[in-house]
Chain A
Amino acid sequence: MKSRKPSIPYIIWMVIFTMIPIVMIGFTAFTDSQGNFSLEAFSKAFFYTDVFIHSLWIALLSTAICLLLAYPLAYLITRMKKSSQNTVIMLLMIPMWMNFLLRIYAWVTLLQDNGPIDLALSLLGIHGTYIGNSAAVVLGMVYEYLPFMVLPIYTVMSKIDYSLIEAAQDLGSNNLAVFGKVVAPLSVPGIISGVTMVFVPSASTFLVAQYLGGTDDIMIGDVIDKIFWTDQNTGSAISLILMVFIFVFLIIMNLFGDEEAIA
C-alpha cells in the first residue's frame, strides 16, 4: 500500500472516534475504580483465560470451516455465466439484510428440542440434542460470517485474467495444474482478506454463544458485554488484550500476504 495523506476531515473523524476511545480504553484498563494507576483490572482479567482461549478456538474453527466451504463455492461461482454469478451472489447477500438477532433466533427455532430438525431426524430414528453445545455455536458463526469469506475470495478469483488460465493450458497444464499453479496462488489475497474479515469479528462476537451454546460456551465478547456494566476497568482490560491478540493476528496475516508478492 502506498502511503497517502488522508485529508483533514478524515483525520478529525479518526481522532474523535478511533484514537480517543482507544486511549480511553487503555486509560480505564490501567486504573482502578477510583481512577488511580493499577494493574488490578489485568489480574482480574486473567480469571477469564479459559473463556479467552475457548473464544479464540471457536473463532479459529469457524474461520477454517468458512474457508473450506467458501473457497470451492467461490471457484464454482466464477465458472458460471455472468448472469448466474450475480444471482448466486445476490442469494448469498440476502440473509445479511436481515437483522443479526433474527437470524440467530431462527437457528434457535430450528435446532431446539422438538424443532424442525429434531422432528425430522426423529422420524429417521435419530434422537439427540442439537442446541446448547459448541457445535451449535460454530454452526451459528459459520452461518453468520460465510458471506464475508465468499465475497472477497470470489472478487479476487473473478479478477484473475482468463488469459493467464489460457497461458497455463498453452504451456501444458491440465485443469488440475491450472488450478494448483495459477488459480490457487492468485487467490491468496482473497483468502487473506476473507480470513481476516471472518476471524476478527467472530473472535469478539457476542450473543451467538448465549443463544446457541451451552453454559460452558460463553465467549469473551459476552464476558465484556456483561462485565462492562459493573466493572469498566476489567472490561477495558479484557478488550485491550483481545485487541492485542487481533493486532498480532493481522500482522501475521499481512506477512503471509507479502511473502506471496502479489502484483
Chain B
Amino acid sequence: MEQTAKKTIVSLKDIFIRFDGEVILNHINLDIHEKEFVTILGPSGCGKTTTLRIIGGFVEPESGDILFDGKRINGTPPNKRNVNTVFQKYSLFPHLNVYENVAFGLKLKKLPKNEIKKKVSHMLATVDLKGYEKRPISKLSGGQQQRVAIARALVCDPPIILLDEPLGALDLKLRKSMQLELKEIQQKTQKTFIYVTHDQEEALTMSDRVIVMNNGVIEQEGTPEDIYNEPVNAFVADFIGEANILNGTMIDDCRIKILGKELECVDKGFGKNTPVDVVIRPEDIEITSPENGQLTGIVEKSTFKGVHYEMSVKCGKCEILIHSTKSAEIGSEIGMRVIPFNIQIMNKLLPFYDNVIEAEVSYSNEAENYFEFELEGTTITVKDKFFADGTKLKITLPPDALSLAGDGVGDLKDLYIESVIYKGEHNEIILESDERKWLMLSDTDEQVATYVPLSFDFSKAAFEVVNEVKEG
C-alpha cells in the first residue's frame, strides 16, 4: 500500500470507557484516514465493537475526545453524525420492502421523490440487487439482506461507513465472495470503511490497515503484511495466522537462542541475554536432512491439506508446526532450517516470568506450622511453612506453581484470562487480578476473556525474608 500522507477523517483521543466498573477501552488513540479500509480486529470482548459504537454515536466515552475532520463531536447523537452503520444482524426494517429500506435515510433528508428513486435504483444496481425493489425483507437470503444493509448505509453518501461484523452470519463460501465484493464497493465509492471483525483472514484480505485490539488496548496497527510478518508480540502473532511461538533468549544483536540452539536472526536492540518471544511461521521452516538442519526433530503427525502438508514435529519437549510441500514420514527424524529474516523476535507480553508477591505475615501458628497473609483483600493460607507475625516476605511463585482452581474456590477469585498462548510445550496464560498480572502454565486450553479462580502451590514457591519483626 502506498503511504502517502492522507487526511485524517476520524480521530479518537485517549478514549476511556467502563461498563459496570469493567474497563472496556483503556485510553485508546486512533487515527483513521480518508478513503481507507481499516479493520479493527480482536477476540470477542476486546472492545472493538465499543470502539465502533463510539464513532457511530451510540455510546459516549467516559473520557477522551472523538474528532471528525478535526471537530470535537462528543455528545452529538447518531442522527446528526455523518456516518452510517451496517449492523451485525443487518437490522433491516421488517415492515418495509427492499426499496423502502434503502430509501429510509433519503426520505428523512427530504430529498425529492424522483431523486430518491434514482439514487436507490443506482445503489441497488451497485450491490447487485436490481429488480428486488418490491421484495419483503423476510423473503431475502442472508447474503441479499447483507447487501440491502450495505446499500442502505451507502445510499446516504456518508464519508464514513461503519461495519460491525457484517459477514458473521453468512456461510463460508458466501462470506468469501462478500469480502471481495465489499472491498470492490469500497474502492468504487472511495469511502472510508471502518470494519470490525474477529476473523483474522477477513481482516488480512480486505484491509488497507489492520488494528489489532485485545483487552481494551490497541496491540498493533499496520498493513496486513506488517501485522503478519512483524507481529509486535506473542498475542498478535498467535491471533493472526498460524505460528510457532517459542520462548527464546536474545544473546546479543542478531543472535537468538531457541530450543537450546543458537541461531542467527536480523533483530537488534533487545539487549544481551534478554528473554524474548520468538515467532516462526510454519511455512517458513524448510525441511532438510538431519545433518543439514539447524534444529532436528521427530515427525509426529502429517496431514495432507491440499496445497501443503501440515506436520507436527517434536523437537525435544517442544512441538513445532510445519507447512511444507514436501512430506516426511511419521516417526522419521528430520532437520529444520529457517533463514534469519524469518525469525521474528518480540518482547515478552509480561516483563517477568516468575510471579513475585510481596507480603506481610498477618497471622501465624508455629504449632501447626502455617501462616497467613493478605493479598488483594483475601486471606491466603500457606501450609507447612512458618514465619512470625509481621514478617515481610518476598514470595516467588514460578508459573507452574499457579493453577486454575478445579474446585471453583481457589486462593484468588475472578481472575480475568487475558491471553492464552501455546508455546510448543505448554499454554502460557496471562491472568489479571484486581491489582496485577500473573503468568501461569497450563496444558489445557482455557477460554480467553473469561473469569476463573486461581490456586497457588506454595511447595513450589521460594520465600525470602525482607525484614524480620521488630519488637515493640
CB distance from B326 to the nearest CB of A (A): 51
Asked if residues A169 and B136 are in contact (CB atoms below 8 Å), the reply is: no
Asked if residues B78 and A164 are in contact (CB atoms below 8 Å), the reply is: no
Asked if residues B95 and A263 are in contact (CB atoms below 8 Å), the reply is: yes
Q: List 28 A-B contacts (CB under 8 A).
A: A161-B89, A163-B87, A164-B94, A166-B85, A166-B91, A167-B87, A167-B91, A167-B93, A168-B104, A169-B77, A170-B78, A171-B79, A171-B152, A171-B153, A171-B156, A172-B79, A172-B105, A172-B108, A172-B156, A173-B79, A174-B77, A181-B104, A182-B93, A186-B94, A261-B95, A261-B136, A262-B94, A263-B94
The reply on B279 being an interface residue by CB < 8 A is: no
A118 to B77, CA, bound (A): 50
- Given A261-B136, A263-B138, are A171 and B91 also a contact pair (CB < 8 Å)? no
Asked if residues B108 and A177 are in contact (CB atoms below 8 Å), the reply is: yes
The reply on A185 being an interface residue by CB < 8 A is: yes
Across the interface, B137 reaches (CB within 8 A) one of A168, A171, A181, A263, namely: A263
Besides A161-B89, A164-B93, A188-B95, 7 more A-B contacts (Cβ < 8 Å) are: A163-B89, A168-B93, A172-B108, A181-B104, A186-B94, A261-B95, A262-B94
Q: B83 contacts which chain A residues (CB < 8 A)?
A: 170
A164 to B149, CA, bound (A): 12
Chain B positions near chain A (C-beta within 8 angstroms): 56-58, 77-79, 83-85, 87-89, 91-95, 104-105, 108-109, 136-138, 152-153, 156
Asked if residues B95 and A169 are in contact (CB atoms below 8 Å), the reply is: no
Interface centre among A163, A170, A261, A262 (most CB of B within 10 A): A170
The reply on A231 being an interface residue by CB < 8 A is: no
The reply on A50 being an interface residue by CB < 8 A is: no
A260 to B136, CA, bound (A): 11
Asked if residues B95 and A171 are in contact (CB atoms below 8 Å), the reply is: no
Residue total for A at the interface (Cβ-Cβ under 8 A): 22
Asked if residues A170 and B95 are in contact (CB atoms below 8 Å), the reply is: no
Asked if residues B95 and A166 are in contact (CB atoms below 8 Å), the reply is: no
- Given A166-B58, A263-B94, A263-B138, are A171 and B89 also a contact pair (CB < 8 Å)? no
Q: A166 contacts which chain B residues (CB < 8 A)?
A: 58, 78, 85, 87, 91
Asked if residues A263 and B136 are in contact (CB atoms below 8 Å), the reply is: yes
- Given A170-B56, A170-B79, are A262 and B95 also a contact pair (CB < 8 Å)? yes
Residue of A nearest to B103 (CB): A171
A188 to B152, CA, bound (A): 24
Asked if residues A174 and B79 are in contact (CB atoms below 8 Å), the reply is: yes
Q: B93 contacts which chain A residues (CB < 8 A)?
A: 164, 167-168, 181-182
Residue of A nearest to B164 (CB): A163
